[in-house]
Chain A
Amino acid sequence: MTGRTTSRRRRGKKGNTPGRARVSPILVFGALFGVVAFACSPPGGDVAQPGGGGEDDVIKAGLIAPLTGVAAAPGNDMVDGWNLYFKLNGTQFAGKKIETVTEDTAGDPATALNKTEQLLGRTGSDFIVGPALASSGLAIAGQISRQGVPFFLPVVSADDLTQRGRLPGVVRIAGWSSSQTTHAFGQWAYDQGYRRVVTLCTDYAFGHESCGGFVNTFTDAGGKVVKQLWQPLGTQDFGTYVAQIREADPDAVFVLTVGAESPRFVKAWSDFGLKNKIPLLGGETTLDQSLLRGMGGEATGLTSIGHFVEGRDSPATQRFVEAYQKEYGKLPSYYAAAMYTAAQWITQAIKEVGGDVSNTDAFLKAIRGVQLEDSALGPIRLDEYDNPVQNVYLRKVEKRDDGKLWNVPEQTFPQVSQFWKYEPQEFLDHPVYGREYQGNGVWPEPRK
């Protein structure tokens, strides 16, 4: 068409570019991938405070979390929870001042590696705590462990970090393993009389492991999983999946979504009219407080499992929830609760070693000896594999008097281990839960 002459004439000035409309799709995609790649490399994190004098009186905590990028919301909750503990309790413990240096991973493993290098080298952290995403946690665990620096993971829940892939000095204080909560959920679902269940979980390691925990105990009890759906991470439209669940017509559905998937799913669930028809059993991240903040009436009354429940009627939890709300104007998520509890845990160990964290073995021994009679998460201590033994809560979303949504406990499974009721060694002989291995029907016989 005539547009071509125009283009050609304009192009004439610049010379050899071939047809513009022709170049554009390629240009567009090149540029878009540029955007995606660039989005993953963040601006620099907080500048480390120069050590200055009095190094001996300072304990340096290296905090690593995604403060920008897609996981920015949980990352900032983590930092808020950590800081809140020191705001309430001061930074002086056993004669030492705890100084926190925060670095931003932007949710990207490569960036996490670089920032960890800074925390280990230039900053000289005495220990590192964080991050939010398993991809980052797995990327940096080996690096930190090799340097002999203690690494604490209150949020990263990848099963094998405290199961088959343990590393020296990597301890999941105040944390959890993905299948720890859902093991209890599968058994509970069977006890409710559900026999045919559909699962819908995010198609990556955390989803596979969460789902595996549920499927394993549910089928072990005698239930049947009629369909397993896996949605790609970051799924926009859940209409397709909801329609498939409706078609399968199960007794209940187990759903594990993360981040923005959660409000999208809950909305679709309600829009398609399934909310009060098929019982919904949500994973911890599906109805975490960080996501309830953006939800409305469609979420009230929904059931989920979790190791933190903000409506738990106990002084330890409520003191934390109220202080957090006062400081930040919102209710705390599990990310905040985990980091707050981690700070409590670490400072208790620091007190026990008299402020001397230079002896890593003694410090880690003190860390492993900590038993919190009650914490924001409930009573909690470590097992021999460095994962907490803690309460798991069956939670229900309720509307508070101030109009905010929160989870309240319906039932407590006291002191649940990451191995549920299985023999640890026998459990570890099986592969970690994945898409190919959900433990279904073959438990507890080891699979070849």
Chain B
Amino acid sequence: MSVDFFLTQTLNGLSFGGLLFLLASGFTLVFGLMRIVNLAHGAFYLVGGYIGFTTLLVTGNFWLAALVGAVAVAVLGTFVERVLLRPIRGQDMPEVLLTIGVAFVLGDLSLAIWGGDPVQLPIPGYLSGGVDLGVVSYPRFRIFVAVLGVAVGVALWFLQHRTRVGAIVRAGVDDREMIAALGVNIRLVFTGVFLFGAFLAGLSGVIGGTFLSLVPGADIEILLFALVVVILGGLGSLPGAAIGSALVGLIDSFARALVPELSFFTLFAPMAIVLVLRPHGLLGRR
């Protein structure tokens, strides 16, 4: 295995992992606090990407597109949480089924609005092209995605551990009723976290829409990866999502190169093993 090959596959894995983290962090936060497995998270990703795409066509500004895509999905997420999910709070099955329903509705609406042809978002000129890493040249944008994943991870950690809001969220994860009894408006916290998770999903849609393309069905494809990430890392755990993202990205990248016939096996086998040995994931709490 040459250095060139090893370096490229590692970077491939880390950049894909960066994208997965953007998506999975919101997913895992929502689960940790609200115990909702939001299967509409993939649809949030897709819709965010599509809205970003349209914004980009109109304005030509990538960062504005990323912002609009993320904010629009945050608004959508707020609606889903406040109007649809609130009446059935605490009931596993109805919650999961509702999020599946939302995923279908969003998927079909996207097909009706944006059609079925795959679309890709153009990236700003200064982020395109390659970076010379000595032995090999690697696409600049993909390095940016990996860096963005790390940056968001650090920011989230800081938010959770160094701010009052983060403290409330952490306390909410541990004991929702106690924190409500202490006078914190837990409903507002729920909405806030759901909104934030949706925001990250929308943002990841815009980022992912640049090097993976947006197409009906991409929502379920990416959701599958996000689920493996959070189950591997531990549902509800941010550091778990970070480790899970990097692992899944790297496994996917190397497995496809080294044992292409087994690339799905190598993705799911670690998850199955982890589930057997640690049913709550690597860093999940009981």
- Tell me the smallest distance from the CB of A144 to a CB of chain B, in Å: 26
Docked-complex contact B8 and A7, CB < 8 angstroms: no
Inter-chain CA distance A32–B39, complex, in Å, is 8
Write out the residue numbers on chain B whose beta carbons fall within 8 Å of the beta carbon of A295: 120
Number of interface residues of A (CB under 8 A): 67
Docked-complex contact B215 and A232, CB < 8 angstroms: no
Inter-chain CA distance A236–B225, complex, in Å, is 11
Write out the residue numbers on chain B whose beta carbons fall within 8 Å of the beta carbon of A294: 117-120, 213
B220 within 8 A of A: yes
Inter-chain CA distance A72–B21, complex, in Å, is 30
Q: A35-B103, A263-B118 are in contact. Are A239 and B16 (CB under 8 A)?
A: yes
A194 within 8 A of B: no
Counting chain B residues whose Cβ lies within 8 A of the other chain, the interface size class is 35 or more
Q: B-side binding surface: helix, strand, loop or mixed? A: helix
Docked-complex contact B253 and A240, CB < 8 angstroms: yes
Write out the residue numbers on chain B whose beta carbons fall within 8 Å of the beta carbon of A165: none
- Which chain B residues in 241-282 approach chain A with CB under 8 Å? 252-253, 256-257, 260, 263-264, 275, 279-281
Inter-chain CA distance A70–B97, complex, in Å, is 22
A23 within 8 A of B: yes
A7 (CB) vs chain B CBs: closest residue = B35
Inter-chain CA distance A190–B24, complex, in Å, is 47
B67 within 8 A of A: no
B159-189 near A? 1/0 per residue, CB < 8 Å: 0000000000000011111100000000000
Docked-complex contact A72 and B235, CB < 8 angstroms: no
Docked-complex contact A17 and B275, CB < 8 angstroms: no
**Most chain A C-beta atoms within 10 Å of own C-beta, residue among B37, B215, B235, B236:** B215
Which residues of B pack against A, CB within 8 Å?
Answer: 2, 4-5, 8-9, 11-12, 15-16, 31, 35, 37, 39, 90-92, 96-97, 100, 103-104, 107-108, 111, 115-120, 122, 128-130, 137-139, 141-142, 173-178, 210-213, 215-218, 220-225, 227, 231, 235-236, 252-253, 256-257, 260, 263-264, 275, 279-281, 284-286
Which residues of A pack against B, CB within 8 Å?
Answer: 1-7, 9-10, 14, 17, 19-25, 27-29, 31-32, 34-36, 38-39, 68-76, 229-232, 234, 236-237, 239-241, 243-244, 246-247, 259-260, 262-264, 267-268, 271-273, 290-291, 293-296
Given contacts A71-B116, A264-B211, 9 further A-B contacts (CB under 8 A): A2-B175, A17-B92, A21-B286, A25-B231, A28-B231, A32-B220, A35-B220, A263-B120, A267-B211
Closest 10 CB pairs of A and B: A73-B116, A271-B139, A72-B116, A239-B12, A260-B215, A260-B118, A243-B8, A70-B217, A294-B119, A263-B213
